[in-house]
Structure 1
């Protein structure tokens, strides 16, 4: 077929459009069919994968044209023309519902066309449109008329390699429309064992590649940019999120509890996500149902969290923005010997128990925006800890220099720590990122001794890996 096409086009001027190209290998095989005959011929390809687009146009990167979402006017025009012969025929009582539905489509033509096609088969009544709008959040699981949307999005999921599928499903633990921080996400992937070692790369670099690949495939949307030019965070499109949730429930990948829903679950809970006040639903959780949970995540004021003693093999503990979390809730944290990741960001915690030193597999400890003022001496026993993030003014114990696996330390308040601790920073020979501050007011040591210790530490660190200094 390739040779037949090539022979037919050999002396002709041609325009060829190749729709929905999925891989570089497919382009490598297809392009052989098109002779370069200097007749001003053109080839247009479409793809959902950014790397494939760049590969097809190499070395002319300027030929890649990223499709932008439709604006509000074009979205509305496409939507209404699909339902009515004339967009002005839309009843006035449906105008607000139209806007609600289009907000969920985010300007994606595929979503707009399919939902409009569904509505075109129904009576143009406010009640019917409200039913469709309200069903969008769970449509992929419950409404058979959304099968076409599900089928098209499911193709994108099926095309993912297995190592990306599990990372993609893991996004179901977050609330809908949640902005998901990139660094926290990839560190949780590592903690749960989703990232396989690859020759010549550390786990974090591999996880970064996974994250970038999901963006390139348009499975997630990048949000913001950090100092290195990488996306600061990501978000999942509403309709794609429905697909993830549907698949996760089907596979018993995650159990979600919120103030208005509880996803179906078997007695074997692998990942538990609490969203909002879940006091009533939490009562249903017996100790036996939690012993196989590998990841526990809570968003917002969830009320009383389950006892940590009920978790036997927990690897990731992530409790964000939870004012009801108390010191007593984490007093048994040292019993969770499998923990790799702990984030208590913006919670009401004021003290870390000394038994945290027993967590010999812990890699990430994020205590930012808590009430913690000092860390126990046992923190220095965490020899596998890679990143330690603390609020301003925290006092670190002597022995911090023994934490030789540490690659990131922030925010280190040198004015609250002894010169000996400041000097110990120089022993952290793997440290790459250091956030540091000095405030002369109420400092426990004078500026001269601070500078002497700091210069000594920087001299050691500068000869090694330190590449980012923040204040």
Structure 2
């Protein structure tokens, strides 16, 4: 701070400056205030790191009535807000450069201009690098990174200790890896990095750490979820290189892949990240397993060291490895330091909070279901129910299942996913008492005939994704959920279709609404006042024939907060002019909204429209233009690491499931 005040005094006083050699901060502040108190000034303070520093500087700059102005730059959002007026939002957040501007800046800073860029030299250098071994030393011989490392070191050294630890932990992930927020926070909790105060939950505290790293631009947001929170992130390659080197130097993480092998000590490796490509990788860490507490395996190899070698293991992440041999997991039950999923004896893990995608089938014992019910600290449960109607002990299993859900529901259960290819209608009225703390519920495969009685009493539910026959009664029940923010409905039941009205008194908090299936909706004035995103279907000929023709846009113009609109238009039995008229009405209705969302309209069953030969030929040409060519090959990602915001299954800290 002394240097800062000396610099300000030397610039504002110029020739009058006679005392800036003083190193007494109090004297410098007093002199600066005396000089500025009757002057109009304009001062720019670059790169402030803390609110405490800003408060000191603000005191030193005399607040007179002469229209003086101060501009402050900072990399930290919270500091920027503290510098701004509490009554006015004066923070300007610099947007990311476009690709063209980035190229222009690169050429200007590196070569002076694009014309001076030695393209051939760069190509030659690139060819040279392809023949070199992949090591940091080879790169640093050719290109100096000291300046960038100095900037990153400054950011890193200004972090509080707890944020440094959480940032270093991200070196466990590979370049470009998309990391879900909840998954990362639970990893931090499992490692013991999070300390909650004042009765605050560890996950809430961990999310504040996550947000602080984003505010400091040390991790980049990738997706946002329905409530505006960041859903997933990634680490920029330059920052990842920096924290990886730091983590290895401090023996915080050891990383072994086909391309690099980085560890500080073979004596005590505590966190190990593996990406198996071949046997040479397996052989290289044969001496590193004894003290490993946290193990990441991004790709499984049959030659991999057995889990029995990792006797101190507390956190195991197999990252969606679907090719794991079942025999590899046999030893999991003997890893007493690890919170894991299943085998017999799971009831002894009384501290367990997360279980993801537990399969219950004919190999599962009834005893295990009973033991699950004793895990009273369990907050997240994902269960795949595969007990079919022909199972000889079906009634016994269903009774135990209802009993365990009842026990968990009265404890701490907050996030539940139920998957089943068979009906779970035995749960419609039998879950009692209701899970009063439940916040997120997702069902897959189970098509409900109605909203269960217990579901209608979930006052804390914010996220609901279910398959159900959508009727007017369904919308009335769901519309009264007091906390619901996200709703996805799948209504694929055949039979007579009912047109439903969303009234102005329903869904007062809802922000995102997706409905798939054969149901026409009409929105009344005041409906869904907080709705940000809407995706729904319109069956054209039914809309045209209904008595609701007075609202040709289906009432979309009433959705005052809408920002994103997706409409799937089913054209079967309708004429082309009816389809076009509906699309025009939707566009007009959307244009009347405050946020002017641009509708994303999709036609289905175009070939089944009612049209004459001329119309059919014309529409056929238009449809051809809209078709996307079928690719010659496809790539499938089997790691289970998709990052769509509707996904609610959170990886557990027992057997962590995918990033």
371 and 402 in structure 1: CA distance in 2 versus 1, 3 angstrom threshold: closer
Deviates more, 1:259-268 or 1:375-384: 375-384
Taking the aligned partners of 1:136 and 1:275, their CA distance within structure 2 comes to: 16
Once the two structures are superposed, residues 216-259 of structure 1 have per-residue CA deviations (whole angstroms, 9 ceiling, x without a partner) of 11111111101121111111111111111001111111121223
Match of 2:356 in 1: 366
Residue 222 of structure 1 pairs with residue 212 of structure 2 = no
The farther-off stretch of 25-34 and 359-368 is 359-368
Which ranges in structure 2 are unaligned for 5 or more consecutive residues? 1-27, 388-396, 467-659
Distance 1:435 1:294, change over 3 A: same
1:405 to 408, 412, 420: 412
Per the alignment, residue 270 of structure 1 pairs with 270
Contact map agreement 2:414 2:438 (CA 8 A) in 1:
yes
Unaligned runs of 5+ in 1: 98-125, 343-351, 441-446
1:51 aligns with 2:91: no
- Who is 1:108 aligned against? none
Q: Give the C-alpha shift of residue 131 in structure 1.
A: 4.8
Whole-angstrom distance in 2 between the partners of 1:142 and 1:164: 28
CA distance in structure 2 between the partners assigned to 1:300 and 1:324 by the alignment: 9
* Root mean square deviation of aligned Cα: 3.4
Q: How does 1:22-421 map to 2 (within 5 A)?
A: 22-59=49-86, 62-94=89-121, 126-127=124-125, 131=129, 138=136, 145-264=144-263, 265-286=265-286, 289-340=288-339, 352-367=342-357, 376-377=368-369, 378-391=371-384, 398=401, 399-403=404-408, 404-413=411-420, 415-417=422-424, 419=426
How many angstroms does 1:361 deviate by? Answer: 3.0
1:220–1:140: structure 2 CA closer, same or farther, 3 Å change rule? farther
Structure 1 window deviating more from structure 2 (319-328 vs 246-255): it is 319-328
State the distance in 2 between where 1:245 and 1:437 align.
Answer: 39
The more displaced of 407-416 and 50-59 is: 407-416
Would the aligned equivalents of 1:167 and 1:194 in 2 still touch at CA under 8 Å?
Answer: yes
1:32 Cα offset (Å): 1.3
Measured in 2, the distance between the counterparts of 1:363 and 1:140 equals: 46
SS where residue 246 of structure 2 aligns? helix
- When residues 429 and 423 of structure 1 are mapped into structure 2, their CA distance, relative to the original with a 3 A threshold, is same
- The offset of 1:58, in angstroms, is 2.5
Question: Which has the larger displacement, 419-428 or 158-167?
Answer: 419-428
Is 2:276–2:282's contact at 8 Å kept on the other side of the alignment?
Answer: no
Between the aligned partners of 1:320 and 1:469, the Cα distance in structure 2 is 26
Q: Residue 470 in 1 paired to residue 465 in 2?
A: yes
Deviations 1:366-388 (A, max 9, x none): 238x8989864243343332212
**How big is each residue's C-alpha offset from its partner over 1:147-205, in whole Å with a ceiling of 9 and x where there is no partner?**
22212101111111111111111100000111111010001111111101211311111
Q: Which deviations, in whole Å up to 9, do the C-alpha atoms of 1:93-139 show, x marking residues without a partner?
A: 256x5xxxxxxxxxxxxxxxxxxxxxxxxxxxx33896599999847
What is the alpha-carbon distance in structure 2 between the residues aligned to residue 141 and residue 389 of structure 1?
A: 46
Distance of 2:149 and 2:437 partners within structure 1: 46
- Name whichever structure is richer in helix by fraction: 1
On the 8 A contact 1:258/1:277 being kept in 2, the answer is: yes
CA separation of 1:22 and 1:392: change in aligned 2, threshold 3 A? farther
Equivalent-residue separation in structure 2 for 1:8 and 1:57 (angstroms): 24
Distance verdict in 2 for CA 1:135–1:291, change over 3 Å: closer
Structure-2 separation of matches of 1:420 and 1:11: 76
Q: Residue 51 of structure 2 contacts residue 82 of structure 2 at CA under 8 Å; is this kept in 1?
A: yes
Q: CA deviation at 1:271?
A: 1.1
SS of 1:317 mapped into structure 2: strand
Paired with 2:362 and 2:240, the residues of 1 have a C-alpha distance of 39
1:276 and 1:299 in contact (8 A); partners too: yes
8 Å contact kept, 2:438–2:458:
no
Which residue number in structure 2 is paired with residue 122 of structure 1?
none
Q: Distance in 1 between matches of 2:361 and 2:138?
A: 44
CA distance in 2: counterparts of 1:359 and 1:257, whole angstroms: 31
Separation in structure 2 between the aligned mates of residue 386 and residue 304 of structure 1, nearest angstrom: 36
CA contact (8 A) 1:141 1:246 kept: no
**Cα distance in structure 2, aligned partners of 1:89 and 1:183:** 47
Could you say what secondary structure the match of 1:149 adopts? helix
Give the structure 1 partner of residue 566 of structure 2. none
Give 1:419 deviation, angstroms. Answer: 2.3
TM-fit CA distance, 1:301: 4.7
| Inter-CA distance 469–128: structure 2 relative to 1 (3 Å threshold) | closer
Does the 8 A contact of 2:274 with 2:297 survive in 1? Answer: yes
* Match 2:443 to one of 426, 436, 448: 436
- Of structures 1 and 2, the larger Rg is shown by 2
How many angstroms does 1:304 deviate by? 5.0
Spell out, residue by residue over 1:338-369, the C-alpha distance to the aligned partner (whole angstroms, 9 max, x if none). Answer: 32476xxxxxxxxx53344443332222238x
